[in-house]
Structure formats: C-alpha cells, structure tokens
C-alpha cells in the first residue's frame, strides 16, 4: 500500500480568508532551514477545526506549518510557543512527536506566532477508512489497545527530566480546569445553545481531589489525532495536535479520551457521531477501555465517571468556542454551521453520565 499524507488530501486550495503571504513565508523558511532551495508551493490541509495547518512543499521536501485561527480566540488558547516547546522537548524520549524545525513570534510574517514541523507520512484513520484499508473486529480492538499503550507511554515520561517542569502546575489542576472551562463556555455561549447550568453545578459540587499523579497530558488524545503506518495500520507512528498539552492529572486526559468512545447501548443519535471507522467502532466499550488502562498502568480509576462527564462538558465548550467565531461572522468555514447541534448533543450525554454513572 502506498503511503499517503498525514491529514486527508493535501491538494486542497487555501480556504477564503485563510490565505498566507507566500513571499514572506518563503523568506522565513529559507532563513530557518539551512540549504532549503526552490519554489514554495503552499496548500492547506482540509481537516481540523481549531489551529490551521498548511503543507509547505519545496520539491521533494515537505513541511507542516501550524498557526492560530483567524478571528476571536480564547486568551490562553492557540499558544504556538507552547505547542512547539512540548514537541521539541518530548521528541528525544517520546518518538511519536513530529520533529520541529522553526518557531517565530515575528508578526510581520503572518500577523501571529507559528511554527514548522516535519510532515509524517502515514494514514489518519477517520470514520471513513482510506482506500485499501480495513479492520476485522479483532484488529480494530488491537488498534485501540495500541493507541492506549502510546497514551500510557506519554504519561510515563519524566517531564522534569526533559525540561518541562514549569510547563504546567499539577497542583489544583482539576479545579483550575473545571473553573476555567466553565468560564470559557460562558464567555463563548450563543443564544442557540443550552446554558448547561445544571451540568456546571454538578461538576463544581462533585469535584474529586487531585489524584496525586502528574504527567505530560495531551488533552485531545484520540485515534484521528494519531498517524498509523500505511504498511501496518495497527501501528501508531505519530501523535498530532498538541495545542492543549500541559502538565496535569493523567486521569483527566483519559476522561477526555473517553468522550470519543461510543458503545452499543448509547442512543442511536449519539452513535451517529462516532469518529471510529467500521471494524474499529464498538469493538471496545468505555468500561473495557478503562479496564485496559487500569491493567496497563498504576492509576486508580475510582472517580473516572466524573472525569468522563467533565470531558463531555469540556469538549462542548471547545466546540462552542469554534462555533462562536462562525456565529459572529469571524470565519466563513461552513463546516462550523452545525456545531451548535453538537454542543447540545454533548450536553445530553453529560446529563446521561450524571444520571446513569457507567463506572
């Protein structure tokens, strides 16, 4: 099987309103990467809803550029310097990070900080499989176990040894996350989404104490944020989208990942949002996922239902922040139009998790 690009098709034209100054970018790249020659061909990866990702081609050499979205952004979101720093620090001990090449805060180039990294060749597994790829249920379950193994390996990295001791404060992490995402949701709320006050009240009143564990956490760890080997689609070769990475409670990280796992007893409308493809979908329930993490790590999962519920609320708040830009005309990307429905659906799931605890 021929290897394909890291994120869907790389042949997409630049979306209206998301163009870059190629002359300025070309000068930056040739100063930042020794020996780089030739004409810059710029394309945009069509996937992704938050940070914008572009493909930079110089003949056979290819790079990926990441920059913040246009329009209103949360104060602490889209920090390109943090994303660049964590990738650079982790690469020597966690080989699933793409190699970084350059970072700049020079606003003259494109009006925002951005960074450039390697382009990892492989497959991104979305809800629809790439041509020529299929999974049996046994293979699908194995893929999800391999995904969890990489996640556990990340949580086992000695973050102090790689210079990330000041990358985040694990003390009081759960409370800061809950309070912070409640505030972000309220600031980004639009009139066409539920207020979710009952969920927020429950999260505040039922907050567990810190687990006592601290690690690098990805904060958006799921199958379609990883790259698999095109010649062995059970093998994870890279992890992408580190924009929300920090030092914090790994149980919160696992709770966030649980939000992307559907199971057979979920309502039909919820199963319709499954991001996993045929052969992988429904091969591992949320409880089985938690049991696997429990067997392979030293974590206690006593409060995992809380972390799962918070993960649903947090994901809704993230989507709402993106939808806010569309609602107020700050982006013309029509993919954002139905996001208010996704927010409402996630709130329904959170209420269900509160009323019918799974773990």
Pick the residue with more confidence: 268 or 240? 240
Q: What are the phi and psi torsion angles at 232 (to 5°)?
A: -145, 80
Quote the CA–CA distance of 63 and 99 in Å, as a whole number. Answer: 10
Mean pLDDT value of segment 270-289: 92
pLDDT of residue 9: 44
Mark 52-70 as b/e (b = at least 16 C-beta within 10 Å). bbbbbbbeeebbbbbbbbb
In the prediction, which pLDDT does 70 show?
A: 79
Decide which of 280 and 14 is more confident: 280
Query: pLDDT at position 294, please?
Result: 94
Residue with the larger pLDDT of the pair 10 and 32: 32
Indicate the CATH number for domain 137-355: 3.90.1200.10
The token duo for 171 is: 């003390």
pLDDT for the residue numbered 48: 58
Residue 75: its pLDDT value, please? Answer: 44
Quick one: pLDDT at residue 130? 92
Express as a percent the part of the chain with pLDDT over 90. 78
Residue 19, pLDDT > 60, answer: yes
Rounded Cα distance between 311 and 259, Å, is 6
Give the model's pLDDT for residue 71. Answer: 62
Per-residue pLDDT, averaged over 275-295, amounts to 96
What stretches of the chain adopt beta strand conformation (E)?
Answer: 41-44, 52-58, 61-67, 100-104, 114-118, 215-217, 226-229, 232-239, 246-248
Q: Is the pLDDT of residue 69 over 90?
A: no
pTM of the model: 0.89
User: For the chain, how far is it from start to end, CA to CA, in angstroms?
Assistant: 40
The CATH classification of domain 22-118, taken from the options 3.30.70.360, 3.30.70.1350, 3.30.200.20, 3.60.20.10 = 3.30.200.20
The Cα–Cα gap between 147 and 90 comes to 18
For the chain, give the number of residues: 359
Going by pLDDT thresholds of 50, 70 and 90, the confidence category of residue 47 is low
Could you tell me the CA-to-CA distances from 172 to 96, 167, 300 in Å, in that order?
29, 15, 18
Nearest partner of 310 among 257, 244, 231, 235, judged by Cα:
257
User: Residue 348, SS3?
Assistant: helix
The domain limits of the chain are 22-118, 137-355
**Is pLDDT at 314 greater than 90 in this prediction?**
yes
147 token code pair? 């995904």
Report the greatest alpha carbon distance in the chain.
60
Mean pLDDT for 138-167 is: 98
Helices (H) and strands (E) in the chain, counts: 11, 9
Nearest to 315 by CA among 293, 291, 343: 343
pLDDT digits (tens, 9 = 90+) for 56-66: 999 999 999 99
Bridge partners (DSSP) listed for residue 246 = 217
DSSP 73-85: --TTS--HHHHHH
């Amino acid at each position: 099987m021929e290897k394909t690009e890291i994120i869907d098709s790389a042949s997409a034209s630049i979306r209206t309103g998301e163009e870059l100054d190629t002359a300025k970018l070309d000068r930056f790249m040739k100063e930042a990467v020794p020996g780089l020659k030739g004409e810059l061909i710029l394309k945009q990866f069509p996937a992704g809803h938050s940070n914008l990702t572009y493909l930079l081609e110089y003949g056979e050499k290819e790079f990926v550029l990441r920059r913040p979205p246009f329009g209103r952004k949360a104060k602490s979101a889209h920090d390109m310097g943090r994303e660049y720093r964590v990738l650079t620090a982790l690469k020597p001990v966690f080989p699933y990070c793409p190699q970084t090449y350059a970072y700049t805060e020079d606003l003259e180039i494109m009006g925002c900080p951005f960074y450039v990294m390697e382009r990892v060749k492989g497959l991104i597994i979305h809800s629809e499989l790439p041509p020529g790829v299929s999974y049996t249920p046994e293979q699908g379950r194995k893929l999800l176990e391999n995904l969890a193994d990489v996640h556990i390996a990340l949580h086992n990295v000695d973050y102090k040894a790689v210079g990330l001791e000041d990358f985040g404060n694990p003390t009081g992490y759960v409370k800061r996350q809950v309070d912070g995402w409640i505030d972000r949701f309220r600031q980004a709320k639009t009139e066409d989404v539920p207020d979710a006050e009952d969920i927020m009240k429950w999260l505040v009143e039922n907050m567990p104490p810190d687990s006592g564990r601290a690690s690098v956490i990805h904060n958006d760890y799921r199958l379609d944020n990883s790259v698999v080997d095109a010649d062995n689609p059970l093998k994870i070769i890279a992890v992408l989208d580190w924009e929300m990475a920090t030092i914090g409670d790994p149980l919160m990280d696992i709770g966030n990942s649980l939000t992307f796992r559907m199971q057979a007893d979920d309502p039909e409308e919820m199963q319709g949002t499954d991001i996993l493809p045929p052969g992988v979908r429904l091969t591992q329930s949320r409880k089985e996922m938690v049991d696997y993490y429990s067997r392979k790590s030293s974590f206690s999962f006593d409060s995992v239902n809380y972390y799962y519920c918070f993960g649903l609320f947090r994901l809704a708040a993230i989507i709402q922040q993106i939808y806010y830009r569309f609602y107020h005309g700050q982006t013309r990307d029509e993919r954002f139009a139905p996001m208010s429905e996704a927010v409402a659906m996630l709130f329904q799931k959170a209420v269900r998790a509160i009323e019918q605890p799974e773990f």
